């Protein structure tokens, strides 16, 4: 234990002797959460909408109100013709346009079908265009249904109810807030970036600085050296975990619905596995440049794309799906969303916890054995 304590003290001294690096280690995760939290989880609200109301009747004005009553669309421009409406879209001043024909008011009044033309700016990012399209379609269907009911009631008089009353209840995120989905996913990714990059340079830095020979000739065991390298960064990661959870609640309103300490404890298991993965990369690298390339291109980029943060994993090909399964962040992401968003107990998340524990142990043991081969 004395040898392990010496290695831990040595690593802490390396961190504390460089105040700028220490400041980056402690501040950058918080800055990343704020930056990415606002950037990645941005809501598609107040979408710029132009309307060419050629009918100019009470019926057409009521129809327009269906689109502007909520926060989805912002009635930005009123066009006088279809050409002017298309010009606004061509100039990227609006993302959607609504063309209401001249006979709209008369057709609605007498109960005849009428066609309303919707234009969507397809030059924007595809997911944004799809979101605009879905919102326009949903509002249009709701408006048509309400107008139909009003028309029937005006003709037959009295009142009636629809035969089926289908109600929806959105669990865990009733308002569809994107931040509630993204923040619990960003925390594992940010911790992954920090732990991996810090530990990936641990051994290779000793080799480049010429101090590895001193460690080799000492009686310290491989597991003691690896654990001594990891523990100081594990303490730093624990501090950043508290900070990220706190900022998630303070700035974005994403609080831990489930057990706070279960989340912290599981985050330490995840961090241990990520640090072990970084040390393994460090053992396999001959220079800091190699370690950085391996960390970024083999772990970090796949972690962002294949973990389920941005894209659903169910539709991935078998190779990419199973590649993601071998990354602890994939399982920890399910855990953070389960505890923070759903409020479920750790026992419910056991299918994600046990693979993360096994991977954490495997990566740490692998780091010990790969270092032993270099003795």
Do 57 and 86 share a domain, yes or no? yes
Of residues 112 and 356, more confidently modeled: 356
Q: How far apart are CA 245 and CA 255, in angstroms?
A: 8
Higher pLDDT, 111 or 234: 234
Do 346 and 216 share a structural domain?
A: yes
Higher pLDDT, 10 or 227: 227
Are residues 108 and 122 located together in one domain of the fold? Answer: yes
Examine the domain organization and report whether 26 and 102 are in the same domain: no
- Domain range spanning residue 152? 47-156
How far apart are alpha carbons 132 and 130 in whole angstroms?
5
Residue that is last in its domain, among 122, 156, 190: 156
pLDDT, position 353: 94
167, part of any domain: no
The overall average pLDDT reported for the chain is 83
Same domain, 59 and 189: no
Residue 69 confidence (pLDDT) above 80: yes
Q: Work out the percent of the chain whose per-residue pLDDT is above 90.
A: 27
- For residue 373, the model assigns a pLDDT of 43
CATH of residue 152: 3.40.1710.10
Give residue 166's pLDDT. Answer: 66
pLDDT at 219 over 80: no
> 279-294, pLDDT tens digit by residue?
888 888 888 888 888 8
pLDDT of residue 375: 45
As a whole number of angstroms, the distance between CA 341 and CA 343 comes to 6
pLDDT digits (tens, 9 = 90+) for 150-188: 777 776 665 656 566 667 677 787 777 778 888 999 999
Please, which residues bridge with residue 98 across strands?
51, 118
Q: Name the pLDDT band for 42 (thresholds 50, 70, 90).
A: low
Q: Residue 170 falls within a domain, yes or no?
A: no
d(CA 183, CA 36): 9
- Domain stop point among 90, 123, 156: 156
How many other CB atoms are there within 10 angstroms of residue 22's CB atom? Answer: 13
Q: Are residues 147 and 232 in the same domain?
A: no
Q: What is the count of structural domains for the chain?
A: 2
Sequence-separated (6 or more) residues with CB below 8 Å from residue 168: none
Confidence of residue 214 (pLDDT cuts 50, 70, 90): low
If asked whether residues 102 and 245 sit together in one domain, one would say no
254 and 357: one domain? yes
- Could you tell me the CA-to-CA distances from 101 to 21, 55, 57, 65, 75 in Å, in that order? 64, 6, 11, 16, 18
């Amino acid at each position: 234990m004395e040898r392990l304590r010496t290695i831990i003290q040595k690593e802490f001294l390396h961190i504390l002797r460089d105040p700028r690096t220490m400041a980056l280690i402690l501040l950058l995760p918080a800055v990343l959460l704020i930056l990415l939290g606002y950037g990645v989880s941005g809501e598609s609200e107040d979408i710029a909408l132009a309307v060419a109301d050629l009918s100019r009747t009470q019926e057409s004005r009521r129809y327009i109100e269906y689109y502007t009553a909520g926060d989805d669309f912002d009635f930005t421009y009123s066009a006088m013709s279809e050409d002017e409406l298309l010009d606004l879209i061509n100039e990227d001043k609006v993302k959607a346009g609504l063309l209401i024909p001249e006979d709209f008011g008369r057709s609605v009044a007498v109960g005849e079908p009428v066609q309303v033309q919707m234009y969507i700016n397809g030059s924007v990012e595809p997911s944004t265009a799809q979101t605009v399209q879905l919102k326009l379609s949903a509002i249009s269907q709701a408006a048509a249904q309400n107008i139909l009911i009003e028309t029937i009631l005006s003709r037959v008089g009295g009142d009636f109810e629809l035969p089926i009353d289908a109600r929806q209840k959105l669990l865990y995120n009733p308002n569809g807030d994107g931040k509630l989905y993204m923040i619990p996913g960003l925390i594992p990714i940010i911790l992954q970036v920090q732990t991996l990059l810090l530990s990936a340079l641990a051994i290779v830095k000793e080799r480049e600085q010429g101090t590895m020979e001193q460690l080799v000739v000492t009686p310290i065991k491989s597991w003691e050296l690896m654990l001594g390298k990891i523990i100081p960064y594990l303490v730093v990661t624990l501090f950043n975990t508290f900070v990220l959870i706190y900022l998630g609640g303070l700035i974005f309103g994403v609080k831990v619905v489930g057990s706070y300490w279960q989340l912290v404890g599981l985050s330490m298991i995840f961090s241990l596995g990520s640090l072990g993965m970084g040390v393994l990369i460090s053992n396999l690298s001959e220079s800091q440049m190699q370690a950085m390339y391996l960390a970024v291109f083999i772990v970090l980029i796949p972690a962002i794309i294949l973990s389920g943060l941005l894209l659903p994993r169910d539709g991935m090909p078998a190779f990419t799906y199973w590649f993601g399964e071998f990354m602890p962040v994939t399982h920890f992401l399910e855990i953070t969303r389960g505890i923070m968003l759903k409020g479920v107990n750790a026992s419910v998340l056991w299918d994600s916890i046990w693979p993360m524990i096994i991977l954490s142990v495997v990566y740490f043991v692998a780091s010990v054995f790969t270092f032993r081969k270099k003795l």
